[in-house]
Structures are given as C-alpha cells and as structure tokens.
Amino acid sequence: MFEPHRGRSLQGVTQVKVPRSVIVIGAGIVGASTAYELALRGVAVTLIEARGGAGLGTSYANGGQLSACEVAPWAGPEIPGLILRWLGRDDAPFRLRPKMDPEQWLWLLRFLMRCRASARAERIPPNLEIALLTRARLAAYEREIAAAGTPLDFQRKEKGILRIFRDMHALKDAEKESAIITRLGLEQKVLTPGECAALEPALASAMQRGDIAGGLYAASDSSGDAHLFSRGIADGAARLGVTIMNGTNATRILTDSEAVRGVETSQGVIDADTVVIAAGTETRALLAPFGIRSWIYPLKGYSVTLPAPEGNAPEVSITDEARKIVISRLGDRIRAAGQAEVGGYDLTLEGARARSVLDALEGVLPQTGPQRGAAEFWCGLRPMTPDGSPMIGAVPGIEGLFVNSGHGTLGWTLGPGSAAALASLICDAASQPDLSPFSINRF
C-alpha cells in the first residue's frame, strides 16, 4: 500500500503542492511524530499543544505495547455479548454509559455494524502496514536523534509480547485470527503453560495456580513509555527547527475560499497554508465548524503504574486475555492498563474502576501486591473510530487541511507510522502513499 505511486496524477504530473508552512495541532504521540516527520522533509512547522508539554493527554500513561501482531480492531463478534454480560458492574472491563447525545448513538450504531468477524479481519492488513511502518520509523528516530546528540530514551523493551489465555477455546480463536498476521509475514508461537512461565518467569505462580491454559508469543513486538517518547520526539522536532507552542489552545481553523490560511489560537492568529489536526478526541470539535463528522468518540481507559517488584518483575510485555489487561515493564516501574468505557468526554478517575486494574494486575502477578500502596492511577480517552483504524489524510473540500487522528486502542502502535505516511502524502511529490483505507469519509 505504501509503495510509491503516481495514480492521482494527470498525464504523469503529480499534483502535490508542497506546503510552505504547516501547523500541527496536538503534541501527543501522533502530533509530535507528525511534526518531526514534516520537519525532516524541510517544511517550516509549528506544533501547537494546549497542555504544558508533549504527551500529557491520552499518550501519557498508556499500556506501553507496540503490538504489530495485535492490530485487530476492538469491534468484534464477542463485544456486544461482553458489554451485556458486564452491564451495571463497576469493574466491567467494557462499559456502556448511555448519554443523551446523538453523537454517542450514531457512533455506537456504526461500531455495532463493525462487530462482525469479517469486518474485523478486513482491518488487520492496513493496520499492520502502518504498525510495520512504526517499527521502521522508531528504529530510524532512535538512530537519528542519538546522532544529533541526545538519545531518544523511552525505556523500550524488545522482549516481545505474550498473550496468555485462561481457556483453550479463547486460545484457539486467537490462533485463528493470528493466522492472518502470520500470512502477512509476522511469526507468532503458540506456547504451553510451562513454556509461558519459562519465557517469562514472573508468570510462574499464575502457571502453578492453573491460570494459564496457553499463550501466543509475538517475539518481534516490543513495549515502551509513550510519554517519554512523545517528549523525546518533540525535542527532536525542535532541534530540526519546529516551533513548539505549549500551553496554546487552537480555537479555530481559518480558511479563505475553501483553503487553509491559518489557525486562531489562545496566543493569537498563526498563518499557515497547511494544518494537520492531531488533537486526539478533540479532533471532532475542530472539524465540526466545517460540518464534517470525524466519527471519533472517546473510549475511556485506566492504567496503574507502580515500582517493579525486585527480583521477579516481568521483562516480556503481557496481555492477560481473561482479565482484559496489558502489562508492560517501563524501566524500574511496571504498568498495567485496561478498561473500556463508552461514556463521553468525562475524565473523572473512578476509584473502583482504577482499582479493578490494580486487582487484575495482582491476580496475574501476585508479587506486585506489596507495592500496592505506591500505585499511581491514571485514566485517558482513546480517540476511537468505529472500525478501529485511524483517519489519516486530506479533509475533502478544504485545501491544505489534513487529519491524523482516531488511533483508538492502537495509538502507540500506529502513531509514528501514520505520521510518516501522512508527511509523505503532504510533501513527497514523487512517492504518494495510498492512504485510502484510512480516508476520513470512509463511513
């Protein structure tokens, strides 16, 4: 898909107007990477961020997994049943909080229409292609930024991701789905409970208790701290000449005759001929004045971060499919993340839901129990599209306006890849990627 092509040209002349100045709105994983990628291509970039620095929104304390082998959308045949089964429970890993909000109902309707095995399978190849681009770009960023003098340290662990299952049915289903990934060239291994514990000794007690029926191991996947990454890549972008405006709210995108001319911000108007909206769940509000629906809705999740237990903390990133949490080792800390709530933009941290992630972590790794008192809780809003793929590309009808948003449960896995693909679309006249699977008007 990302092979260069000239399909949109007339008589062999590619119609890319290389921008003079670009504003990127939002400095999460996605926006900070986009600013860096654009600056690499020699464009003048301003990165506007409402918060005090990069990576302080949803990119702050996510599950840490860079999971190319697990890029299936959240929507799937089992989800409606799971939501019903857990209805009304505070600790439900999936929760629907109905609102008097047509946006929520329209999103849910589209989402439910995607809860089919075929719809899920259809999204795996395009997502995987972006995830593989992320892999390649992360390796390049690490090289480039280290060469510029300061290493890009985001506590990356290249020990793979191990999915553990409590029953054989779930493992068999996952194996079937993973066959798509295997056919596309990424190897995953089915492990016995003993092999799971041999690979990751921190799982020994879960294995002895009979909590693990088997595992699926993706050795080529990795994990790392998305907040440290966002900060590091924003610093790298600044060294390439990007103007960073933290604490600046973009209030409106300004257009003239259906072409972008700048952004109105809390610090005044900034001129630009190109704008990229990478504002996570706020993307919707920035597009609304143009009468364009983003189809991005918040999916609230929780994480808990605590000091890693000495001696038997995991090195391999773990997905516990029964408890619905992911666990990553980040330096001398350990983080567990989970929960999915469709309930609007409210960022209140609910104690019961946050503690259920901590309880689930202790369930699988009881050795974390003594650190319970030092746990730091967090919640964030995943910018979700109904089909589990991001929106990457031009906004139809407004020249110079682009979106890179809606990465949902996969923003760390897909963010840097989507940044590279979009920067290529904006700047590289000779090698235009085909981003049609991610088009903003696909719904």
- State in angstroms the smallest separation of the CB of 326 from ligand FAD: 5
Instruction: Give the one residue of 22, 39, 45, 64 binding ligand FAD; rule: CB under 6 A.
Output: 64
* Number of residues near ligand FAD (by CB under 6 A): 43
DSSP bridge partners of 422: none
Strands of 59-116, DSSP E: 65-66, 94-96
Question: Residue 221, interface with ligand FAD (CB under 6 A)?
Answer: no
- State in angstroms the smallest separation of the CB of 168 from ligand FAD: 25
H or E element in which residue 345 lies: none
What token pair was written down for 175?
């194996």
Question: Residue 412, interface with ligand FAD (CB under 6 A)?
Answer: yes
**Which CB, 367 or 405, lies closer to ligand FAD?**
405
Instruction: Give the one residue of 407, 417, 426, 440 binding ligand FAD; rule: CB under 6 A.
Output: 407
What token pair was written down for 120?
């899920």
Question: Residue 58, interface with ligand FAD (CB under 6 A)?
Answer: yes
State CA 279 to chain mean position distance: 13
Instruction: Give the one residue of 62, 367, 368, 371 binding ligand FAD; rule: CB under 6 A.
Output: 62
Question: Residue 38, interface with ligand FAD (CB under 6 A)?
Answer: no
Strand order in the sheet with 268-271: 250-256, 259-265, 268-271
Question: Residue 25, interface with ligand FAD (CB under 6 A)?
Answer: yes
Instruction: Give the one residue of 22, 24, 31, 298 binding ligand FAD; rule: CB under 6 A.
Output: 31
Site for ligand FAD in 235-294 (CB under 6 A): 249-250, 278-280, 282
Side-chain half-sphere of 127: how many Cα atoms within 13 Å? 30
Contact in structure between 295 and 107 (CB atoms under 8 Å): yes
What token pair was written down for 273?
């001929």
Q: Centre a 10 Å sphere on the Cβ of residue 136 and count the other Cβ atoms it contains.
A: 12
Site for ligand FAD in 349-388 (CB under 6 A): 380, 382-383
- State in angstroms the smallest separation of the CB of 10 from ligand FAD: 34
Q: Which residue is nearest to ligand FAD (CB)?
A: 411
* Sequence-distant (≥ 6) Cβ neighbours of residue 17 within 8 angstroms: none
Judged by phi (left if over 0) then psi (alpha if -120 to 50, else beta), residue 62 lies in: beta
Alpha carbon distance 443, 441 (integer Å): 6
Query: How far is CA 259 from each of CA 283, 284, 287, 319, rounded to the nearest angstrom?
Result: 18, 19, 14, 45
The span of 24-32, 95-103, 104-112, 394-402 binding ligand FAD (CB under 6 A) equals 24-32
Question: Residue 303, interface with ligand FAD (CB under 6 A)?
Answer: yes
Question: Residue 320, interface with ligand FAD (CB under 6 A)?
Answer: no
Q: Burial, 290: exposed, middle or buried (Cβ in 10 Å; 0-12, 13-18, 19+)?
A: middle
**Which CB, 213 or 324, lies closer to ligand FAD?**
324
**Which CB, 226 or 272, lies closer to ligand FAD?**
226
Question: Under the rule (CB under 6 A), what is the footprint of ligand FAD?
Answer: 25-31, 48-51, 56-59, 62-65, 226, 249-250, 278-280, 282, 301-303, 326, 337, 380, 382-383, 405, 407-413, 415
